[in-house]
Amino acid sequence: MDGGAVNDTFQLGVRATGPDTCRITLAGDLDVATAPELREAVHAAAAGHRQVVVDCGGLTFCDCSGLNAMLGAARTARAGGSDLLLCAVPRSLARLLQLSHTTSAFTIETERADAR
């Protein structure tokens, strides 16, 4: 699975990094306009991989719609028997997760999971 979506303020890339792992790379603004792209990407990735890594290192903004998409993505992955891992989480997103008491919904690595 290789591909990506581009928007004026959002980029999403998807690539298989191994037989059981898929990496979704996010950059720009994750908001009401772009959240559906994340939902679709995770749904497709979880269908064929046991682990979905979402690299958040390029995110510059995330609103409540983006957060909701991430929570939905975690549920989708779990329901399909996959693990969802957030990596390279920017401080602003980490703070949003903390303030919304949703940190426990995710497996989070602060560094980029380049080996995955």
Res 87: pLDDT: 96
* Pairing mode, strands 107-109 and 51-62: unpaired
DSSP letter at 50 equals S
Helix (H) or strand (E) holding 7: none
* Neighbouring residues of 101: CB distance < 8 A, sequence distance ≥ 6: none
Report how far residue 27's alpha carbon sits from residue 56's, in angstroms, rounded to the nearest whole number: 7
pTM for this model (two decimals): 0.86
Q: How does pLDDT run along the chain (116 residues), one tens digit per residue?
A: 445 554 568 999 999 999 999 999 999 999 999 999 999 999 999 998 999 999 999 999 999 999 999 999 999 899 989 999 999 999 999 999 999 999 999 999 876 655 44
Report the Cα–Cα distance between both ends of the chain, in Å, rounded.
Answer: 15
Res 9: pLDDT: 82
Question: How far from chain centre, in Å, is Cα 72?
Answer: 10
In the chain, the domains with their CATH numbers are 2-109 (3.30.750.24)
